[in-house]
């Protein structure tokens, strides 16, 4: 589904990502861990194609196509979807109208109900929403889009316990963890700090990013255990000795 080859990315002339390699197969969902400011959001934004993230070298391959230079809207049409860490509010656009723009066939009422968000359909997108409400608004948009690769940038931050279950359930559905493994075709990547949401959704593999590079990859629960025990640096030293 996704192949990142030796990707280096800079923002405003400052290098953030260094030689990142990552492969996510169809039906797989990966977790991405790492300290603040290490480049996790930069990686997802570069895959999404936000213009200010300059690819200095390396390639992004999606479904076998080189999308490294492709405009963002074309990537979305090809099946890349993203829940942003801090999405903007959109004045003058109601959430239920955005759902129709994303996918005219979508059942807006059913999607809003699923996320316990009925009352927000008439509201302007993210305008005056609380932190947790913004996260549910992002999930509503992804449920309308049904992307083949779903990228989630801290979908759990600022979300209360009850809604974490709701969001975890929606992610499982988007990444087809609710059907048998051999039938799965969709993929996902999730950035999270707490791991709490991982109790409500399934991940197949995890990576630790430090200083703009992926320094360790492995089993999600083992890596999370190590991070909890000895921090990111300790996790790296323990699981991926040089
Ligand atoms: P993470 O998601 O891992 O916390 P980010 O990818 O958001 O980290 O940020 C990586 C680094 O890039 C940080 O040092 C951040 O300050 C820097 N950065 C992000 N956006 C910009 C920008 N628009 N201009 C300059 N530096 C930026
Ligand atoms: Mg981030």
pLDDT digits (tens, 9 = 90+) for 6-20: 999 999 999 999 999
- Look at the chain and report how many structural domains it folds into: 1
Residue 25 lies in a domain: yes
Sign of the dihedral through C-alpha 54, 139, 148, 200: positive
Ligand nearest to the CA of 12: 1
Q: What is the DSSP letter of 234?
A: H
3-state secondary structure of 239: helix
Sign of the dihedral through C-alpha 4, 239, 171, 45: negative
Distance between alpha carbon 189 and the CA centroid of its chain, in Å?
A: 5
pLDDT tens readout for residues 193-203: 877 898 889 99
Residue 73 lies in a domain: yes
Whichever domain contains 189, its CATH number is 3.40.50.300
Distance between alpha carbon 51 and the CA centroid of its chain, in Å?
A: 18
Ligand 1 atom at minimum distance from 209 CA: 3
Q: Is the pLDDT of residue 52 over 80?
A: yes
- Distance, in Å, from the CA atom of 13 to the CA atom of 213, rounded to the nearest integer, reads 18
Residue 242 lies in a domain: no
Domain that holds residue 198: 2-237
Ligand 1 atom at minimum distance from 35 CA: 3
Residue-level length of the chain: 242
What rounded mean pLDDT belongs to the chain? 93
Name 202's Cβ contacts closer than 8 Å, sequence gap at least 6: 29, 172, 175, 177
Pocket test for ligand 1, best of 32, 38, 209 (most atoms within 8 A of CB): 38
């Amino acid at each position: 589904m996704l192949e990142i080859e030796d990707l280096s990315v800079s923002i405003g002339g400052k290098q953030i990502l260094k030689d990142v390699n990552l492969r996510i197969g169809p039906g797989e969902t990966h977790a991405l861990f790492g300290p603040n400011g290490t480049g996790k959001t930069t990686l997802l934004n570069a895959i999404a194609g936000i213009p200010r993230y300059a690819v200095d070298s390396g390639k992004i391959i999606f479904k076998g196509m080189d999308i490294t230079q492709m405009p963002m809207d074309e990537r979305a049409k090809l099946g890349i979807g993203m829940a942003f860490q801090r999405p903007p509010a959109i004045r003058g656009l109601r959430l239920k109208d955005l759902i129709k723009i994303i996918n005219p066939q979508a059942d807006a009422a059913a999607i809003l109900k699923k996320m316990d968000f009925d009352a927000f359909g008439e509201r302007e997108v993210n305008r005056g929403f609380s932190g947790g409400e913004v996260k549910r608004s992002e999930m509503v948009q992804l449920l309308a889009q049904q992307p083949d690769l779903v990228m989630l940038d801290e979908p759990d931050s600022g979300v209360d316990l009850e809604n974490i279950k709701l969001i975890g359930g929606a992610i499982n559905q988007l990444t087809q963890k609710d059907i048998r493994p051999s039938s799965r075709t969709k993929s996902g990547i999730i950035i999270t700090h707490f791991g709490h949401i991982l109790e409500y959704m399934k991940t197949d593999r995890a990576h630790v990013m430090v200083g703009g590079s992926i320094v360790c990859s492995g089993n999600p629960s083992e890596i999370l255990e190590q991070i909890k025990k000895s921090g990111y640096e300790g996790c790296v030293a323990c699981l991926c000795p040089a």
